A and B are shown apart, each in its own frame.
Chain A
Amino acid sequence: SDFLEVDPIARETEENFFETPDNAILAINGIYDVIGQSEGSGHDGQWLTHNYEFFFGDLLADDAEKGSKEADLQTVQDMVEWRPGTSNSVLESVWIKCFDGIYRANIALKWLPQSSLDADLKSRLEGEAYFLKGYFYFYLVRVFGGVPLFDEPVESGEFGTIPRASYHETFEYAALHFEKAIERLPNKSDYASSDMGRATLGAAQGYLARLRMYQISMDAEATVTYQDVKELTSAIIGSGQYSLMTNYAQLFEFIGENGSESIFELQMVEGSTANAPAKTGTNLSQFTGNRGDWGWGFQNPTQDLVDAFESQDPRLSCSIYGPAYNGGVVQGAAYDYKMEEMMTPYLNRKTALADAEKPSITKSSAYNIRKMRYAEILLLHAEVEIELGNYIAAEDIIESIRARARTSTMARGFAEGQLSYPSTGWGGNLPYLGLPTERDAAIDLLLKEKRVEMANEGLRFWDLVRHGKYLDMLDHKQATFKNNDGSLRYESVNLRANCLEKCIDGKNGVKVPLMPIPESEVNDWDLTQNKGY
């Protein structure tokens, strides 16, 4: 009877939502909401532990230890030691977050094409949804390998009937979405300033370039070529949209947000709540901050990373700080440190805030998380040039990266008491290196430069894996990484053996380790588990 038909109050249903531009934009914004979250409630309201890309990119590599107190986030340490359980909450949160985003993108991609929106806006919004969906699938394939692929929101009848796609298919599926985004997205400069932070043509090209580059060596079935990647990186370089910032030290300060070098970054403002999904900031800075000050102390850069910097490289001052460096001064102040709550005497300088910049809602800093910057594209371009035998072109690029570093200042607030950018006072530092015209040596030089240029930016692990250097690095880690008291940190685990049993084969002997699929997906919904779990 009519009496029992009560129309929803204060809500709209999915079916009619995409008919107005304002609503359609809201639904797209709702997809971005996922990428900005690092902790909070998952799609079903259950609390998720943190999801930060550096867990993989830096901690699994030789650049950083988990940090904080030993017992805190043991789940991450398990990943570092290549013995994560199959219900590791951090991995579950990555899985859940990515599929949450995919679901939201699929809702948009289901209703947008049928909507009567203006064609330009429709195309751009579709482009954003494609980009974000590609972003989530690319994240998934790197961490878990092949996953189920969905063109539309999943129907309840499909639960438990959908298998994982192959590693290759998943890579291609993510790539396809970036390609669709490339067809639709405008340049960075074509957006209104109020839209700064939306996915751009350059971001889609950049992510596709990164994806293809990974795929070339990690996906045994890949048919993509270096020339394909070069076309993408050349398009970004030739677009005139991006340039290196003059001073490296400004890149990771607030002044560097959305700067000329920014290709994609997660947008943050402090807002008025610490809780997702209404939260608009990040707790990254607190999460990686000094426990002697306001932080939780995760991500402790290693001595190995520090040693990778040349002696007079101002980028070191922009990458690390801590009790064993520069008198503990950071952002103009000398702080106390709790060595018993640090795994190395270093912390990540790139996420460090000055006192005045620390948010009053400490879990909601306005600090943007840099996901892709132009220097990475240049280095990818240089890498492609090496692989194609164009050593001179590669050398020029590497030199341009070094030249910028050379003329940069020390980190802001390097001198106690001031938030200025002190000049290095050095001349002749970061000398011209040239580039060996032998492929392996040239790649080594490039990777070393990339390691210091992009320290703590969550890329190192995959660079090592795709160059077949990861397992050797684990041996190095096993043999040399120490606790603060001098004992060997990984004495009681066998890193290589743990990792090797979880590897699939890429091209040319490259071994690609994968993380476990969440246990319930395997037990209850018939997905196959990865090797070694």
Chain B
Amino acid sequence: TGCEEKELSEDYDINWPIPEITEVSVAGDVAIGSQITVKGAYFADAVVTINGIECTVISVNDTETEMTVELPRIFEQGLLRVANVFNRYSESDELLNPVYPEVTVTKVNDIPQGLQFKVEGENVDVISEVYIDGESVPILTREPSEILINSGELDLKPGQLVSVSFKSLGPNAIPEVANVNVIYPFIEYKELIIWDFEDGNHHYVGEPTASVASGGSDCPGNVDKFFQLRAPGYGWDKVTGEMTSEEVPDVSTFINPYLTFAVRTPAGSAGYFQMEDQNGNWRHFGYGFKTDGEWMIISQPLNESWEGGEFDTRALNLS
């Protein structure tokens, strides 16, 4: 003997205004980012979206029956939805289909290891995918003239050369950009320069095959003179130069000391670095560098990335 249950919404007498769309100035193919006009009713504080992507409402007229809306730069084909403060919404009758412009990449900037880098050009914001050596990497921010890309997920090494390729929503293919430099992130350690080559106390003892010259003003950073090694030797097994210090810097009280220096290798050449402490223990850098003629600043913690084990910084007397 069940009693007839009434519908839950039966007695509800509030008819919240539902936005009406009577006319949309465009239909079918429409240029991204273009401004369109929507007519209808109940546009109070409306939120306009297309396929979940919010459009910018430029203006609404006084009677809240007409508004100008700027379409997003990226959206998928869909209906235009107008929602109001009463959580009510309506959708346009006809699908809007985005038309994307041609995309031109004019410049791919160097990639600081683990950080973001910039791709410049025209309409680059409609690039949908960016690949570094074929691996997809996320796009952080988009402007028509430049996008920022995060390389943090990839295991890149400074000195490495990579290729950058793209997929875009635009009609044209974008050529791959090869030989993009992976650079060490710009880091400045004024207080931790171990060697100050300008003070004359530290002597370079060069092999006969090498010579030393001061760096030029093309060196990055705010130190205007740097030490250069030049050598006719080629390949990894050639020692090009060596420095020793008479006055041993004491880094034992340093917290996590770094060695910082600038380096550049001629195109096609690579180099690496090794260091000996006073006990005669040798360590060499965990990686080499190949800078293709560009300056690069290397800043390396003494307890990381040294092959043969980390330096015990408490006992470190550099020589």
Contact = CB atoms under 8 A, between A and B. Distances in A.
Q: Please say whether chains A and B are actual partners in one complex.
A: yes
Interface of A: 237-238, 243-244, 378, 393, 396-397, 399-400, 403-404, 406-407, 409, 415, 417-418, 420-423, 427-428, 432
Contacts of A409: 115
A23 to B, nearest CB: 41
B190 A420 contact: no
Interface magnitude class on chain B: 20 to 34
B150 A396 contact: no
27 contacts: A238-B314, A243-B303, A244-B255, A244-B256, A393-B253, A396-B254, A397-B255, A400-B254, A400-B255, A400-B256, A403-B191, A406-B188, A407-B185, A415-B141, A418-B138, A420-B116, A420-B138, A421-B152, A422-B115, A422-B140, A422-B148, A427-B186, A427-B188, A428-B188, A428-B222, A432-B190, A432-B191
A16 to B, nearest CB: 49
B256 A420 contact: no
Interface in B14-62: none
A403 B116 contact: no
Nearest to A420: B150
B159 interface: no
B112 interface: yes
Given A400-B255, A417-B141, A423-B116, 12 more contacts: A244-B255, A244-B256, A393-B253, A396-B253, A403-B191, A403-B192, A406-B188, A415-B141, A420-B138, A422-B150, A423-B112, A428-B222
Interface string B165-196: 00000000000000000000111111110000
Interface class of chain A by DSSP: loop
Contacts of A400: 254-256
B189 A403 contact: yes
A350 B291 CA distance: 39
A418 B140 contact: yes
Nearest to B303: A243
A287 B150 CA distance: 32
B48 to A, nearest CB: 18
A421 B283 CA distance: 32
Contacts of A432: 190-191
B32 to A, nearest CB: 18
Nearest to B254: A396
Most chain B C-beta atoms within 10 Å of own C-beta, residue among A243, A403, A421: A403
B70 to A, nearest CB: 19
A396 B188 contact: no
Contacts of A427: 186, 188
A432 B192 CA distance: 11
A12 B2 CA distance: 54
A405 to B, nearest CB: 12
Contacts of B148: 415, 422
A421 B222 CA distance: 26
A503 B102 CA distance: 72
Nearest to A412: B152
Nearest to B313: A240
Contacts of B150: 418, 420, 422
Interface of B: 112, 115-116, 138, 140-141, 148, 150, 152, 185-192, 222, 253-256, 303, 314
A472 B36 CA distance: 60
B311 to A, nearest CB: 12
Contact of B255 (A237, A421, A428): A237
Contact of A417 (B140, B152, B192): B140
B187 A407 contact: yes
A243 B148 CA distance: 32
Contacts of A399: 191
B2 to A, nearest CB: 37
A397 B186 CA distance: 22
B115 A423 contact: yes
Contacts of B141: 415, 417
Contacts of A378: 255
A228 B148 CA distance: 51
Contacts of A243: 256, 303
A244 B112 CA distance: 22
B189 to A, nearest CB: 6
In the A-B complex, the 8 residue pairs with the closest CB atoms = A400-B255, A423-B115, A420-B150, A418-B140, A415-B140, A407-B187, A399-B191, A420-B152
A403 B140 CA distance: 26
A430 to B, nearest CB: 10
Contact of A422 (B116, B256, B314): B116
Contacts of A403: 189, 191-192
Contacts of B187: 407
Contacts of B190: 432
Nearest to B301: A246
B175 to A, nearest CB: 26
Nearest to B258: A403
Given A238-B314, A399-B191, A423 B255 contact: no
A475 B255 CA distance: 37
Contacts of B115: 409, 421-423
A8 to B, nearest CB: 51
A397 B254 CA distance: 7
Contact of A396 (B189, B255, B303, B314): B255
A409 B112 CA distance: 12
B298 to A, nearest CB: 13
B140 to A, nearest CB: 5
A349 to B, nearest CB: 19
Contacts of B222: 428
Nearest to B304: A246
A393 B314 CA distance: 14
A396 B140 CA distance: 36
B309 to A, nearest CB: 13
B125 to A, nearest CB: 13
A231 to B, nearest CB: 15
A164 B292 CA distance: 73
Most chain B C-beta atoms within 10 Å of own C-beta, residue among A378, A396, A397: A396
B140 A420 contact: yes
Nearest to B251: A396
Nearest to A419: B138
Nearest to B138: A418
Contacts of B138: 418, 420
A427 B220 CA distance: 12
A427 B190 CA distance: 12
Contacts of B314: 238
B166 to A, nearest CB: 18
A25 B195 CA distance: 53
Contacts of A244: 255-256
A243 B314 CA distance: 13
A393 B252 CA distance: 11
A243 B150 CA distance: 27
A396 B141 CA distance: 38
Contacts of B112: 423
A228 B116 CA distance: 46
Nearest to A374: B255
Contacts of A238: 314
Contacts of A237: 255
A34 to B, nearest CB: 34
